[in-house]
Amino acid sequence: MDSILAENASFDNLDFSEQLLRDREYSKCVFTKCDFSKSNLKNTDFIDCTFNGCNFSLAQMDNTGLKNVTFTGCKLIGISFSACSNFLFSVSFKDCHLDYSSFFQKKMKKTGFTNCSLKEVDLEEADLSAVVFNNCDLMNARFIHTILEKADFRTATNYSFDPEINKIKKAKFAYHGISGLLAKYDIDIEFE
């Protein structure tokens, strides 16, 4: 099958759910309120694309290229971003639901997460250097051997991880979040 190429196109209110959308390339495209849930995006490249209010829940992204891609108001539940192509991988998220997704071993330096739900997200062995978690809920997010150097958690909530098994040099935390760094000690902390 020949690959499909789209450039500078807009896609609005389209239902791609449970469809085979593999081996395609989209460059500088804007997708608005499109449904990609349970679709197969294997070997598809998105370059300089924007997704607004789209649903990607449980989409398959084996070797999918996300190169300078912005997600705003999207539902990305249960996505294995770790299966995406590492080549030029660059994403940003605003007002997104990323619960139960995986970024296992993903290099995501300086990625922006703003007003996102990241509940039960797997961030194990990911490189999150200088990542900003701006007003994000990290309830039960998994940080194991994660690089968090210069990461910003000052407005994040509900995070909990062991500083001894993660790299946190020069990471930023607010006073209210310190308890998330001490959770393994099972101590009571009172904030007056």
The pair of structure tokens assigned to 176 is 């209210």
Residue 126's identity, in one-letter code, is: A
Q: Is 110 left (phi over 0), alpha (psi -120 to 50) or beta?
A: left
Question: Does residue 2 surpass a pLDDT of 70?
Answer: no
| Reduced DSSP (H G I as helix, E B as strand, rest coil) percent helix, strand, coil of the chain, to 5 | 5, 30, 60
Contacts of residue 20, Cβ cutoff 8 Å, sequence gap at least 6: 39, 40
Tell me the pLDDT tens digit for each residue of 83-116. Answer: 999 999 999 999 999 999 999 999 999 999 999 9
Residue 83's identity, in one-letter code, is: A
Q: Give mean pLDDT, residues 6-18.
A: 95
In this prediction, residue 1 has a pLDDT band, given cuts at 50, 70 and 90, of very low
In this prediction, residue 78 has a pLDDT band, given cuts at 50, 70 and 90, of very high
Looking at the chain, the whole-number percentage of residues with pLDDT higher than 90 is 85
Q: What rounded mean pLDDT belongs to the chain?
A: 93
- Pick from 121, 149, 117: which is nearest to 134 by CA? 117
CA distance 35 to 57: 9
Contacts of residue 192, Cβ cutoff 8 Å, sequence gap at least 6: none
Residue 162's identity, in one-letter code, is: D
The pTM of this model reads 0.91
* CB contact at 8 A, 96 and 118: no
Check residue 70 and report its DSSP letter. Answer: E
In this prediction, residue 168 has a pLDDT band, given cuts at 50, 70 and 90, of very high
Question: Does residue 188 surpass a pLDDT of 70?
Answer: no
